[in-house]
């Protein structure tokens, strides 16, 4: 089973929901793994504090040009869809960060002067908090593309676990990558105009992907009607509300999980609603 937690808006509480839900389920004795797909800023491990057992490097392929056989015909640069190559008087220049590792340049080279080499862009870490398995992808600073790490993370999703995916914020490419194929999507939002605006976009994206989903209102207060009206109009379930509470903020800022009885009920409810749907 695969449950994705997404938000459309950063700072809404995806990680709070995802880590606590994963922790709660593992406490109940379920076979759970938490996967942090927010590779640009993976912060789930701050709360789960797993002991890291395995680390893998994530590498992408980049072209390497053999200057002695290259005739500088320029075909590789012309055919490259991403403008990652340039032919100059001093040979062929490769712009590694623009390269999408498609391999077309090595196919079109008439003299076979291009081979593919590997370049590290980040890593994947696997660890454990008691019986909860926790996985995260970390993109190296300055790298523009996290998708190759997400592709590797996806391989670690196994059907015999309950997989809780902590998606990146927003509704971009990498969010689509992490959510597609989920059995359920938890859309975390906050009762503000910004929250509503981004919720509308995220709801459209997840609908296109054909994933059943429900909304969790975090920082819930007297403004909830903004979200409630929208959800009613669109026929979206509001599965739970997490109150706007100082004690939650304090725990969050210390990097702690919400282990109080009152919150356990919240996560119990979220999980039982998900089980009803999927």
Partner 1 sequence: MKVCFSSEGKSLDSQLDPRFGRCKYFIIVDTETNEFKVVENEGFVSEHGAGVSAANLVVDEGADIVITRNIGPNSMKILTSTKISIYEGQADTIKANLELLKQDKLNEIKEPKKSHFGLQNRWGR
> Taking CA 202 as the corner, what is the angle to CA 200 and CA 208, rounded to the nearest 5 degrees?
105
The answer to the question of residue 86 lying near partner 1 (CB under 8 A) is: yes
The answer to the question of residue 88 lying near partner 1 (CB under 8 A) is: yes
- DSSP character for 257? -
Among 29, 51, 54, 89, binds partner 1 (CB under 8 A): 89
d(CA 273, CA 106): 51
Among 81, 155, 159, 235, binds partner 1 (CB under 8 A): 81
Complex with partner 1: residue 145 or 164, whichever CB lies closer: 145
Stretch that binds partner 1, among 11-19, 87-95, 163-171, 236-244 (CB under 8 A): 87-95
**Binding string, 25-64, against partner 1, x = CB under 8 A?**
----------------------------------------
The answer to the question of residue 87 lying near partner 1 (CB under 8 A) is: yes
Among 21, 84, 134, 188, binds partner 1 (CB under 8 A): 84
User: Smallest distance from the beta carbon of 95 to partner 1, in angstroms?
Assistant: 5
- Report which secondary-structure segment, H or E, holds 262: helix 261-277
The answer to the question of residue 82 lying near partner 1 (CB under 8 A) is: yes
| Contact between 80 and 106 (Cβ < 8 Å) | no
The answer to the question of residue 93 lying near partner 1 (CB under 8 A) is: yes
Complex with partner 1: residue 82 or 225, whichever CB lies closer: 82
Q: Would you state the torsion angle of the CA atoms of residues 4, 163, 26, 48, taken in this order, to the nearest 10 degrees?
A: -70
User: Smallest distance from the beta carbon of 88 to partner 1, in angstroms?
Assistant: 4
- For residue 132, the cross-strand partners are 129
Q: Which residues have C-beta within 8 Å of that of residue 51, sequence separation ≥ 6?
A: 127, 128, 129
The answer to the question of residue 77 lying near partner 1 (CB under 8 A) is: yes
| Contact between 160 and 186 (Cβ < 8 Å) | no
Among 10, 46, 67, 98, binds partner 1 (CB under 8 A): 98
**Binding string, 143-162, against partner 1, x = CB under 8 A?**
--------------------
Cα 28 from chain centroid (whole Å): 25
- For residue 52, the cross-strand partners are 127
d(CA 242, CA 29): 24
Q: Which two tokens stand for residue 278?
A: 């999927």
Q: Where on the chain is the footprint of partner 1 (CB under 8 A)?
A: 77, 81-90, 93, 95, 98, 100
């Amino acid at each position: 089973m695969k449950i994705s937690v997404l938000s459309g808006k950063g700072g809404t509480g995806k990680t709070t929901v995802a880590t606590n839900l994963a922790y709660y389920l593992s406490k109940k004795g379920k076979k759970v793994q938490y996967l942090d797909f927010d590779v640009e800023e993976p912060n789930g491990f701050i709360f789960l504090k797993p002991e890291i057992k395995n680390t893998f490097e994530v590498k992408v392929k980049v072209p390497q040009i053999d200057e002695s056989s290259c005739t500088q015909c320029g075909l590789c640069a012309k055919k490259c869809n991403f403008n990652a190559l340039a032919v100059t008087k001093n040979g062929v220049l490769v712009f590694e960060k623009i390269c999408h590792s498609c391999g077309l340049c090595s196919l079109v080279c008439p003299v076979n002067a291009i081979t593919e080499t590997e370049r590290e862009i980040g890593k994947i870490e696997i660890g454990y908090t008691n019986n909860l398995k926790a996985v995260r992808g970390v993109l190296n600073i300055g790298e523009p593309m996290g998708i190759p790490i997400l592709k590797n993370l996806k391989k670690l999703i196994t059907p015999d676990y309950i997989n809780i995916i902590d998606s990146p914020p927003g509704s971009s490419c990498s969010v689509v990558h992490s959510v597609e194929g989920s059995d359920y999507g938890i859309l975390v939002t906050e009762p503000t105009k910004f929250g509503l605006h981004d919720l509308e976009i995220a709801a459209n994206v997840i609908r296109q992907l054909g994933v059943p989903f429900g909304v969790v209102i975090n920082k819930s207060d007297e403004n909830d009607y903004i979200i409630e009206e929208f959800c009613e109009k669109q026929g979206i379930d509001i599965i739970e509300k997490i109150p706007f509470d100082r004690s939650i903020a304090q725990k969050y800022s210390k990097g702690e999980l919400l282990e109080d009885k009152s919150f356990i009920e919240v996560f119990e409810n979220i999980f039982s609603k998900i089980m009803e749907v999927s």
